[in-house]
Chain A
């Protein structure tokens, strides 16, 4: 029996075609067909799905979804199943990151309203649950694309600053952890007399 993770991995999530020119082609080598160094110079990412992953995490961390255009002709997928994402990178200096998919899956399970009891009972089909996961995934990413698109509109060079994406994600570090370091910093302060 294939696990949900494996079934999910066989899918190809969709995204809105309008983000291809405005975001995916801008930030990655998607549709380049080659990764020869001269062609990719200046692009931040290699494969198009890398931008998708970033967009997904933006939606995930904001916990905001945005439904995709229902018109199928306005949607598109990479033709590259999730299970292949992050497996190999032909660009110089890059490393593979296969484990990241497990976290994406875990996040989808955590955030999608799926009835696994009914699934295991056999009341609903696994494909239906995977559909739900993929929809959630697409909607998170769709929100993320929207977010990136706004930033690019304001400043076309926004993401070409070395740490632009990182700074966005650093905002999502849970405040608690920040407090911990703050506390260690404030150890020097005199204790309250109370």
Chain B
């Protein structure tokens, strides 16, 4: 099948009915930049060929076309293809759309096919035509979007499908089944006959049941071995992946360690910075007193003033009191001076008793003179006695006055003293402490400022290391967990793998023993000499059928490996061609336990190339695809095109040109949509000139509004 032309109408960015590509039976390149409509072209072809997508969708309609429609306007979306497949044929997939008041009304998807019957074009069912000419199976091996889809064997069933389609092995399946059935039936018939044979029935029965049991055991062991092999493949694959990551993993560990170190330093800094809470310190460290000095001074002044005032008042008061007391003393002293100036006897001499006795006796017993009643002397004595009595009284009075005076205080309490004492306490060292608070705060703030500078430096370093980590992760296309897990898994996986190997070996030994035993039992069974001639015949028939059965199984195996080796050989031919002068290694298609295959690249000295570059991988997969395509043409006697969307994005500039020219010489229809040969949106014409194939350029029409999708349309230009 060769695609000759593709027309696209109102499909997404392909506006209007004037979009067509004509293809040769060799290579056609369609060059476009990002957003120019490359993938849309690819998807338009996919849509056309996908006979299961039968629903019309507004999303497929050109935005530009939609925006221009008036109510009542009708138009259609269609993708059509003209192709050669046992004669020229064409197919179109289309649906109509009409603008209504409420939006767009969509018509049904229709497939319209035409083929030539040698004389004229006849209308045929388009869907059937597609399914007949380009079935989904072929689509799977012919249309690829991006580099990641190129490995068709990623899917475990692919090999089987491929083998079924393209090789004769499938015929063997029926033969194997049929001969297996014969073998089984003949065995049963033979067993039945044996059991009724009088001579060997008993022995045959024992043998038969032993053989059955043994068969079960053997099949169990075989399935166990298969499991182990599967597991080993898995371990190998994982370990391979891990080893690829090992270097990265080690670097990752190193980065992680550095990061942890830096983060610890940073946390310490932050802890130191936060160890002093500014709010709490206002109270706990009494920083709130930073402005207190003037108030403290006020307080000290005031309390000292009160104290002074109080003392002054107290002193004055004391002085007054002393004065009063002095007065009293002086008064006492002033009394008792006699007329001639001589000092009187003390007032208490003679005393009251003596004087009363003298008055009573009318005689002065001091001088011995008589003192008659009414005489001067008598009067003197009476007067003296009265004075004495008065004196006693006055003395008592004076004593009490003095006592009173002495007991008088101006202040009754000492609140001022206690306040003054507080003021004393708050002076000296405590005052110095308060005076230091602003400095303490400043010091702290400076320390924090220094620390936060350091923190900033650390933050930058942490950012750098984090960036390094991110770059590593991006470069490895791995997640942190993966790299972390890799590090710890690699050891565990090795151990698991070792265990699996040991177990597999012991199972294989076991299997060998059982198989030997089986052969022995079989031989014993064969050696039975039944009396019944019918049994003898059946035994021989079974023997023959068993041999045939085994032969077919072996043939099937051989065929598969022959198919793979043919495919491998072809793929390697293409690999060599496509790689031109470059190193390319050798493709090997390795059979896996799940009956699938893995595509691997080996060096010719036998060592695997575990990390092929992106372009090596792409060339490897494309070689396999070409080989498969060759098989199609050989086995099905038909060709089909290979369509790639951006499959070569990992190629370097120098590789592109050679690669395309080689493909063009392969006589295989290939349509490649790519952004190679573009230099900032401009075609590198010098390189295009060197190409021998057809080249189209697709690009957005100018004057589009960067924000409005309805202004975008793809223009097609045929370059050569």
Contacts and interface: CB of A to CB of B under 8 A. Distances in A.
A97 interface: yes
A158 interface: no
Interface stretch (A13-21, A75-83, A116-124): A116-124
A169 interface: yes
Contacts of A164: 279
Interface in B585-633: none
Interface residues of A, number: 49
A102 interface: yes
Dominant SS at the A interface?
helix
Interface in B240-287: 277-287
B415 interface: yes
Nearest to B417: A120
Interface stretch (B53-61, B183-191, B419-427, B675-683): B419-427
B438 A169 contact: no
B291 A109 contact: no
Closest 7 CB pairs of A and B: A172-B291, A110-B299, A110-B298, A3-B418, A95-B284, A106-B299, A122-B412
B279 A45 contact: yes
Contacts of A170: 290, 438, 441
A1 interface: yes
A129 B435 CA distance: 29
14 contacts: A1-B414, A53-B288, A94-B280, A97-B284, A102-B422, A106-B296, A119-B413, A120-B413, A122-B412, A165-B278, A165-B282, A171-B291, A173-B290, A173-B438
Interface string B371-415: 000000000000000000000000000000000000000111111
A37 interface: no
Nearest to A126: B415
B282 A166 contact: yes
A68 interface: no
Interface string A151-194: 00000000000111110011111100100000000000000000
Interface in A39-84: 44-45, 50, 53-54, 57, 60-61
Contacts of A32: none
A122 B425 CA distance: 26
Interface stretch (B23-31, B208-216, B302-310, B646-654): B302-310
Contacts of B313: 117
A174 B294 contact: yes
Given A165-B278, A170-B438, 15 more contacts: A5-B418, A5-B419, A57-B288, A99-B286, A103-B289, A103-B434, A105-B422, A110-B299, A120-B412, A162-B279, A164-B279, A166-B441, A172-B291, A174-B294, A177-B293
Contacts of A61: 291
A6 B293 CA distance: 23
Interface in B60-90: none
Nearest to A172: B291
A54 B299 contact: no
B295 interface: yes
B416 A117 contact: yes
A111 B298 contact: yes
B292 interface: yes
A172 B434 CA distance: 14
A105 B292 CA distance: 12
A154 B293 CA distance: 31
Contacts of A97: 283-286
Contacts of A117: 306, 309-310, 313, 416
B415 A93 contact: no
Given A100-B289, A103-B292, A111-B298, A116 B284 contact: no
Interface string B538-551: 00000000000000
B286 to A, nearest CB: 5
A174 B414 contact: no
B290 A116 contact: no
A177 B298 CA distance: 17
Given A106-B295, A109-B302, A170-B441, A100 B283 contact: yes
Interface of B: 277-296, 298-299, 301-303, 306, 309-310, 313, 410-416, 418-419, 422-423, 425-426, 430, 434-435, 438, 441
A121 B410 contact: yes
A107 interface: yes
Contact of B302 (A89, A94, A110): A110
Kindly name the residue among B281, B425, B438 whose own CB sees the greatest number of chain A CB atoms within 10 A: B438
A162 B280 CA distance: 10
A86 B284 CA distance: 8
B411 A121 contact: yes
A126 B416 CA distance: 11
A177 B439 CA distance: 10
A1 to B, nearest CB: 6
B156 to A, nearest CB: 54
A4 interface: yes
A102 B286 CA distance: 12
A129 B415 CA distance: 11
A165 B411 CA distance: 44
Nearest to A89: B284
Contact of A107 (B278, B295, B418): B295
A21 B288 CA distance: 24
B434 to A, nearest CB: 8
Given A117-B309, A120-B413, A165-B279, A109 B438 contact: no
Contacts of B292: 103, 107
Contacts of A5: 418-419, 422
A120 B416 contact: yes
Contacts of A169: 282, 287-288, 290-291
B312 to A, nearest CB: 10
Contacts of B411: 120-122
A27 to B, nearest CB: 9
Contacts of A89: 284
Contacts of B299: 106-107, 109-110
A116 B282 contact: no
B426 A166 contact: no
Considering residues B288, B298, B302, B309, which has the most beta carbons from chain A within 10 angstroms of its beta carbon?
A: B288
